[in-house]
Amino acid sequence: MYPFDLSYNVGIGTTSPTHKLNVVGDANVTGTVYAKNFSGNSDITFINGTGSAIMTIKDSGNVGIGTTSPSAKLHIQNGSILIKESDGNI
């Protein structure tokens, strides 16, 4: 862990963190993870390895898969939904 740089960012597995907490490598969390952005936007966005947003949870509770602007509780953009019981029945 490298806790001191001029921007007050903390790095785990990196000597040049780019965010307030920058973890390079796997992270294992036991317990609850809380995400809060005090600038008024509490959205959580999951980014894939190429930097594209793949899922967003808005502070309104709407979830978007394939969109960062979900307009319903579950909004899937350009994708399919599969609902299946373990026995193969719907």
Beta-strand (E) ranges in the chain?
Answer: 10-12, 21-23, 44-47, 53-57, 63-65, 74-76
Cα dihedral sign, 33-54-45-64: negative
Q: What was the pLDDT predicted at 4? A: 54
Blockwise average pLDDT, block size 10, the chain, 90 residues: 64 88 85 70 83 90 94 93 80
Q: What was the pLDDT predicted at 37? A: 63
Q: What was the pLDDT predicted at 42? A: 77
